Structure formats: structure tokens, C-alpha cells
Amino acid sequence: MKKVFFLLLTLFTLSVSSFSQIVEPVKWSSEVEKTGEDTYKLIMNATIDEGWYLYTQDIPEGGPIPTLFTFENENNDFELIGDVEESASKSKFDKIFEMELSYFSHEASFTQQIKVTNPALSAISATVDYQSCDDEKCIFEMADFEFAIPGATTGPSTEKQIEKVTKEEKTKEDVSEINSATDNKGLWAIFFVAFLSGFAALLTPCVFPMIPLTVSFFTKQSKNPTVGKRNAILYGVFIIVIYVLLGSVITAIFGADSLNALSTNVWFNIIFFLLLIIFGISFLGAFEITLPQSWANKVDRQADKGGIIGIFFMALALAIVSFSCTGPIVGTLLVEAASKGGLAPVIGMLGFSLAIALPFALFAMFPSWLNSLPKSGGWLNTVKVVLGFLEIAFAFKFLSQADLVMQMHILEREVFIAIWIAVFGALALYLLGKIKLPHDGPLDHISVGRLMLGLVTLSFVVYLLPGMWGAPLNLISAFPPPQEYSESPYGVGFSKVGGGSASAHEELPDGGHLLAPHDILAFNDYEKGLAYAKEVNKPVLIDFTGWACVNCRKMEQNVWPKGNILNLLKNEVVLISLYVDDKRKLPEDDQYVSEATGKKIKTIGNKWSDLQIKRYKANAQPFYVLMDLNEKNLIDPAGYTPDPEEYLEWLELGISNFSK
């Protein structure tokens, strides 16, 4: 059973990412205020979904697309007075773009002063192009405004605006069900990671010995076994209630969005780094961190009263007494969950507390199981020490985040990896019995489970070593600084990928180009790409992408070169990459009003975004479609798929359907 406990510890480092295919995070409204005889204030208001951000008009080069307003004034019917003014914004380090960005959350307001020069002017048309993101994905969108000048009669333009809004609402209804399913997927991921972290906390000296003691208390002190089981189950329920209340209170006090912003704040990251280092050193045995003893004494006195209230205070006493072991894990979970926003902190605490509470309830229902529990001993301290090393390793993630924001280049990628090699190397030596710490007892031999965990850790250290010379280290890509934040950004892991028939094209077909660095023949025009596919009789892979889409680049750099994927992309399909944020204007004759949303399609990016929404009811990127020469899907479309094996299986199945 100890082997199982040790293996559970390795799951403490799990993190799960989710993607969203379809999102509509920003809703726009507008109004007009008369400020003088011929002057007006045009107001554009944005309502932003929880966890999403709308970027300001002033964005550094290389960042997301800034919010940009365009006012139609071909006949010089009015004059713009100054620039568009915006409401107060926030600033944070953006995980996707890895730079300090100004943004709006929840709501934003933009104002443009105008002076009307044509008294007959009844309405003003305007558009906004914008990019909105959460911590994992972005969308590129546009919205139309129709400002009715006060005193003017409503006419066809107003009716057209009502029709456009109706179409937009219909589109939102079509995608709402998929949005809900995606949100649930993210919350389940948080619950699962928190549940495993709760099991890790359960196997510490502060919590594990309490299981037999508490269960024995309820079974011996109760009037009959049934009452004892009921009380033990209540005890477990109250443990869950206490931790869920903690998550709820933190979310209520700070607000989900404030927690999200706080988790990426420079000083918060530095403070949390220091706290994790202190907690980690405490786990290693340098000192004990406990809450004030007076708190525990007061809670114990309340627990002595008995009854349901007494059981509640017994659960609270466990939370206080075990703080030195559970506190660091709970703190880490709350920060990570808070970065997701919404109910994530509550769901995280539910998963964590459920893992701790379950053993108390189960062993009370089946007391004979207690005989199968391993006895408390030195192995519990080993668990605590392992968690200490993990806390120290994770601490540098937060210091790295702060260093990236300030662009100090103190903790570059090589330095970060070197620190992890040292930390996990020391952990491997400890598990193999080569290092002893203050609270370790005599060690005549090591168990098989400890040996296996030591070998796994040592293998991980060996895996990290090539990262010092540029290897991508995809297994830990979420932790170290990005490749470009490095002393040698073009290391051994970044050689150009060649091979395949595409690179051998002497003359490229009309509209085709070679997509670097893999030299895949690609088209940016749908019609030309489809025509070429018919000519060579190959299925079409539509890649809905964006120039500012980071997850699109991750797919191209980390997934497409793997295994047989690159060969299939070069030789078995025709790739059509459609950039939904392409701002080049369409010719006047090609501009139109979308049947799906009622919006005017003015740019090439608008055209491809409208195609994605109209045909596939999706607007998130990346988004991949495999279709035959009659434009029918060969397989269900796919979104961001960081697992190369899963993406390869999707490709192979779609291509095989084309051959049938």
C-alpha cells in the first residue's frame, strides 16, 4: 500500500489545460449624447464575460490586436474631436503574449466626441475591431454600431440594425450549449487535480495518523456502531464544508477576476515565491509552521461540547492542526484555481477536501479496514520531504513569472532548468538514501516503492539535461520561461524540419507558398486551395488560424513536426490556412453583410471568420477541418490538440475516410 501512496505523490504535479471552440465573450451596445448645438458624444459600451479580457487601444508591438474604432464619414458629414477616450483599464502580465498589457474586465466604455457639419445627417455608422482573450485562448472579432442622431427620424438603418441584432442573438444561441460544455470540462479538470492533491496532503504526518484515532473515537464513544458511523460521516462532511467555505470566502472577498489579476501580479508572484520556499524548507524539517496554539485550544473547547456542533469543531480543529502540512498545498491550489476565475476556487477546495474526508467516512463504515493501513512511521516524513522538494521547485515558477514581467533576465530558461535539475537531483539522492534530513529515522534499507520513485525522479533529471542546450522539454512546457527568453534561444531543439514532397516544388501552384519552418505547401485563399486539391485529388485541411494566435503557433511548432504528422501534412492533404485577423480590406464589390451575424464583412479576416461561424458554428482558433473535394467533412472538426498522438489519429482517420 505504501507503493500506491508514493505513486500518488507523482500525480501532485499534474496540470490540465482545456480549450474552447466557440466563444462570444464581448457584447457591445451604443448610445448618443448631445453636448452642444452641433456636437455629440458617441458612446460604445462593452460587457465582458467572466474570466475574459478586452485589450485597450494602446498595445505594444508583438502583442494582441488593439481595440480599434472606425467611423464611416465618406461625405465629411462630421468632424472627430480628439481621439477615442476609454474608461480606466487594468494592467497585468499576460500568460499568452508574455508581456505587460492593458486590458478591461467585466465592462469597458469608449467615447468619441464629434461635431456635425451636415445638418441633414441622421445617423453615423462605425465599426470596432478587437481581440479578446482569457488565460488560454483568444478570438478576433468585429462589431457594427449605428448611432441615430437625436431628433432624426428612424428609418431603414434602424430596421437594419434590429435585424442585425436578431441574427447575432441567434448565433449566440447556437453556440451557448457548446460553451457550457467547455466550461464544465475546465472545472472537472480543476476538480481532478485538486482531488489528487488532497490525497498527497492526506499522506502527511499531520493528517494520516488522525484517521485511526478519529475513527476509533467515533466508534468507541458513540452509543452504538450506527451512531458512530453517522458521526464519522458528519465529520467528513464538515471537513468538506470548511474547505469549500474557504474557497467561497476568498472568491467573495476578492472577486474571481481580482484573483485572476492578482495571480499574475509581479509583487504577488514574488511574495508567493518566498512563501513556497519557506513552506518547502519547513517540509524538509528546518522548522514547523503552525497556526496560533490559542486557536486550536479554543476550537478544542468547543469540540468538547459534543453533538453536531462539537463534530463541526473537531473538523475545524483538524484543519487548524494540520495547517503546517496542508497549508502550502491549499495555497498553491487556490492560486492556480483563482487564475481560472469563476467557481474554480470553490471547485478546487471541493476536490481537495473530498480526498481528505473520504477516508474518515469509509473507515468508520468499515472499521476492519483499519487493519490494512500501514502504521505511522518514517515513511510519513518521507512523504512530507518529497512535498517539500516539490514546493521549492514550484516556487521558481512564480519567481520566473515576475522576472518575465519585469524583463530582468535574471531567471532565464537555462537558469530555471539548472535549478530544477539541482532540486530534483537532490530529491532523487534523498529517495535513494544518499541524503538524510533532520527528522529522518535510521534507514537500514529503502522500500521498493521508494526506489521506484527515486528512479523515476532520476530519469526526470536526465530528461531535463538537454534543456540546458535548447531542447524544448515539452513535458514541462508550462513551467520554465519560453524558449526565446533564453541565453541561447536557437539551441539544439530548434533545427529546421525538412523532408517531404512539398519542399521539392520547383514551381509553386497559383496561391501556394511554403509554410516555414516545415516547408509545407499551404494556401491562404480558400478557392485557390480547393482548386489545387481537386487538381491533385487530395483531401483539404482547413486551418482557421490567426497571426496573433499563440496556440496556433504552438500547434505548428510542437505538434505538426511530431511522428508521421509532418509527412501527412506535406504529402497527403492540401493545407489551406485562413487567417481570421487578416486586416486587409476586401474590394468594395466583395464586401457583404453576413447571413449568420448581420455584420458587414469588410476585411479578408472577416470573410474567413464568417465562413467559420456560418459553416461550423465556431469562432475560436486554432480550428481544423478535414473535408473532401465536395466540401463535406471527412471527420468532426478539431480544435487545439496539444497531444500529437491524438492529432495524428484524427488526421489518419479523416484521410482514410477520403480514400473510401
Give 261-271 pLDDT, tens digit per residue: 555 567 777 88
Residue 388 has pLDDT above 60, yes or no: yes
Q: How far is 235 from 222, CA to CA, in rounded Å? A: 13
Residue 529, judged by CB atoms within 10 A of its CB (0-12, 13-18, 19+), counts as buried
Q: Give the pLDDT score at 574.
A: 95
Overall average pLDDT of the 72-77 stretch: 86
Radius of gyration over every alpha carbon of the chain, rounded to an integer in angstroms:
29
Residue with cell 451512531: 227
Confidence of residue 597 (pLDDT cuts 50, 70, 90): confident
Q: Give the pLDDT score at 260.
A: 47
Task: Return the C-alpha cell found at 582.
Answer: 487578416
Q: How far is 396 from 414, CA to CA, in rounded Å? A: 13
Q: Give the pLDDT score at 421.
A: 95
Distance from chain centroid for Cα 88: 26
Q: How far is 70 from 145, CA to CA, in rounded Å? A: 10
Which tops the pLDDT comparison, 114 or 37? 114
Q: What is the pLDDT of residues 16-40, one digit of tens each?
A: 333 334 567 888 999 998 888 888 9
Overall average pLDDT of the 628-640 stretch: 91
**SS3 state of residue 433:** coil
Distance from chain centroid for Cα 380: 33
Q: Give the pLDDT score at 514.
A: 82
- Mean pLDDT lowest for which of 8-22, 86-100, 153-167, 174-188? 8-22
Q: Give the pLDDT score at 481.
A: 80
Q: What is the pLDDT of residues 236-256, one digit of tens each?
A: 888 888 888 877 776 666 554
Confidence of residue 517 (pLDDT cuts 50, 70, 90): low
Confidence of residue 537 (pLDDT cuts 50, 70, 90): very high
Residue 7 has pLDDT above 60, yes or no: no
- Mean pLDDT lowest for which of 102-116, 350-364, 611-625? 350-364
Q: What is the pLDDT of residues 317-372, one digit of tens each?
A: 777 766 666 766 676 666 666 555 566 777 888 888 888 888 877 777 776 666 66
Which tops the pLDDT comparison, 504 or 220? 220
Q: Is the pTM of this model over 0.85?
A: no
Residue 52 has pLDDT above 50, yes or no: yes
Which helix (H) or strand (E) segment holds residue 44: the answer is: strand 39-48
Residue 642 has pLDDT above 60, yes or no: yes
Q: Which of 390, 371, 350 is nearest to 6 (CA)?
A: 390
Where on the phi/psi map is residue 613: left (φ > 0), alpha (ψ -120 to 50), or beta? alpha
Residue 129 has pLDDT above 70, yes or no: yes
- 382: how many CB neighbours lie within 10 A of its CB? 28
Confidence of residue 519 (pLDDT cuts 50, 70, 90): confident
CB distance 413 to 480 below 8 Å: yes
Task: Return the C-alpha cell found at 14.
Answer: 499534474
Q: How far is 53 from 467, CA to CA, in rounded Å? A: 33
Q: Give the pLDDT score at 648.
A: 93
CB distance 551 to 137 below 8 Å: yes
Q: Give the pLDDT score at 94.
A: 67
Q: How far is 140 from 581, CA to CA, in rounded Å? A: 6
CB distance 198 to 353 below 8 Å: yes
Q: Give the pLDDT score at 370.
A: 67
CB distance 11 to 386 below 8 Å: no
- Helices 323-338, 156-202: inter-axial angle, 10-degree rounding: 160
Q: What is the pLDDT of residues 542-583, one digit of tens each?
A: 999 887 676 787 788 788 988 899 999 999 999 999 988 787
CB distance 86 to 103 below 8 Å: no
Element counts in the chain: helices (H) and strands (E): 18, 17
Q: How far is 561 from 493, CA to CA, in rounded Å? A: 12
Residue 179 has pLDDT above 60, yes or no: no
DSSP string, 169-199: HHHHHHHHHHHHHHHHHHHHHHHHHHHHHHH
Q: How far is 454 from 647, CA to CA, in rounded Å? A: 33
Overall average pLDDT of the 164-173 stretch: 46
Q: How far is 278 from 391, CA to CA, in rounded Å? A: 9
Confidence of residue 649 (pLDDT cuts 50, 70, 90): very high
CA distances from 14 to 48, 88, 194 (A): 30, 37, 9
Q: Class for domain 502-659, per CATH?
A: alpha beta
CA distances from 416 to 412, 421, 454, 491 (A): 6, 9, 22, 16
Q: What is the pLDDT of residues 437-494, one digit of tens each?
A: 877 777 777 888 889 999 999 999 999 998 888 787 878 876 788 666 777 655 544 4
CB distance 82 to 69 below 8 Å: no
Q: Give the pLDDT score at 271.
A: 80
Average pLDDT, the chain: 76
Domain spanning 26-153, CATH architecture = Sandwich (2.60)
- Map out the domains of the chain as residue ranges: 26-153, 181-378, 412-494, 502-659
Residue 111 has pLDDT above 90, yes or no: yes
Q: How far is 199 from 10, CA to CA, in rounded Å? A: 11
Confidence of residue 114 (pLDDT cuts 50, 70, 90): very high
Q: How far is 452 from 440, CA to CA, in rounded Å? A: 19
Q: Give the pLDDT score at 305.
A: 57
User: Could you tell me the end-to-end alpha-carbon distance of the chain, in angstroms, rounded to an integer?
Assistant: 51
Residue 178 has pLDDT above 70, yes or no: no
**Any bridge partners for residue 592, and if so which?**
601
Q: How far is 242 from 316, CA to CA, in rounded Å? A: 7
- Mean pLDDT lowest for which of 2-11, 48-57, 519-528, 600-609? 2-11
